[in-house]
Structure 1
Amino acid sequence: MSEEEDAPVVLRRATAKDARAAADVWLRSFDAALPSVIRPRTDEEVRDYFRHVVVPLREAWVAQAPGGEVVGVMVLEEGELSQLYLVPERRGHGIGDRFVALAKRRVPEGLSLWTFQVNAPAHRFYERHGFTAVEWTDGARNEEREPDVRYVWRP
């Protein structure tokens, strides 16, 4: 690991300039973590969604590495942790832990989130942070049509 990779990342609110980089983090992370899940949107549609919806209309945060590279994205939406994605090479370095701690500070009354049932590493991660699985679905309500699970955290 390089010295730059050891340097702490900064968590900050996303700006319009971050939309493309945040979308690219999402795309890289999704493809690496969920290779069996079919994405219903093209890369450009995902980038447009981040540019026109996620960054301007949601509480979007990025993790910025020294040098300016965006290496993580988290999105909060009305008590839901709706997105938390890291570039694959930055997993396991505490950035996700910091994002969850930030989410809990921002929404101290409790959070919920959805993750796919096939994403066992995400289950372990969220359970380690005090989230409890409360609902399993067949995926009929998500775009990917992939079975998912809802987690909640209450203080």
Structure 2
Amino acid sequence: MTDPLPAVLARFEWSRMPAMTDLWVEAWQETIPEIDFEARRGWLCHRIGTLIDEGAVIEVALGAATPEGGDGPLLGFVSVHPATGYVDQLVVHPDHWGEGVANRLVAAAVAHSPACLTLDVNEQNERAVRFYEKAGFTVIGHGMNPTSGRPTLRMERRAV
């Protein structure tokens, strides 16, 4: 993995949800522009609540603090369920793709579930599949996204 962009990891707070939703929509619109992710904002908010209720941990990556001492901009976020190692969301703002933010978020997920991480990724998202492979994930199965109907890959990363 490459050296991460200087970023601070912080735990999820509901006050960050609007910025997380904006980031999620922008990242997915860039990845699969033919799907209207703007219309799915409500789904993400509900999904985050469900993940938290189920025991998932959500960490956010923040850029450098403002001169006034406030939080820096939201660069990305990851959700992982420590008991199962399932990564439901790993999202980085498109302006920061390739800068190490995703590596930093994978490391955060590993810290919560060191033995094994699993996730599903859209098969057509070749950039993400390549990233996960470089991060030590391997394909262990195939599936279908229940919302979009698109093929997915189940990937796993075991402790080394």
Deviations 1:59-110 (A, max 9, x none): 1111111232112011112311111111101111111011111211210110
Residue 64 (structure 1) aligns with: 62
CA contact (8 A) 2:29 2:36 kept: no
Stretches of 4+ moved more than 6 A in 1? none
Note the C-alpha offset of 1:53: 3.5
Residue 112 (structure 1) aligns with: 118
Secondary structure of 2:149's match? coil
Cα distance change, pair 102–146 in 1 and its aligned pair in 2 (3 A):
same
| Partner amino acid, structure 2, of 1:97 | N
Note the C-alpha offset of 1:36: 3.8
Count of matched residue pairs: 147
Q: Percent identity?
A: 25
Unaligned runs of 5+ in 1: 1-6
- RMSD between aligned residues: 2.3
TM-score for the superposition, normalised by structure 1: 0.83
Residue 42 (structure 1) aligns with: 39
Cα distance change, pair 62–122 in 1 and its aligned pair in 2 (3 A):
same
TM-score for the superposition, normalised by structure 2: 0.81
Unaligned runs of 5+ in 2: 67-71
Note the C-alpha offset of 1:51: 6.2
CA contact (8 A) 2:122 2:151 kept: yes
Secondary structure of 2:140's match? strand
CA contact (8 A) 1:59 1:75 kept: yes
Residue 50 (structure 2) aligns with: 53
CA contact (8 A) 1:79 1:107 kept: yes
Cα distance change, pair 27–47 in 1 and its aligned pair in 2 (3 A):
same
Take 2:51 and 2:16, find their aligned partners in 1: how far apart are those partners? 11
Residue 21 (structure 1) aligns with: 19
Residue 74 (structure 1) aligns with: 78
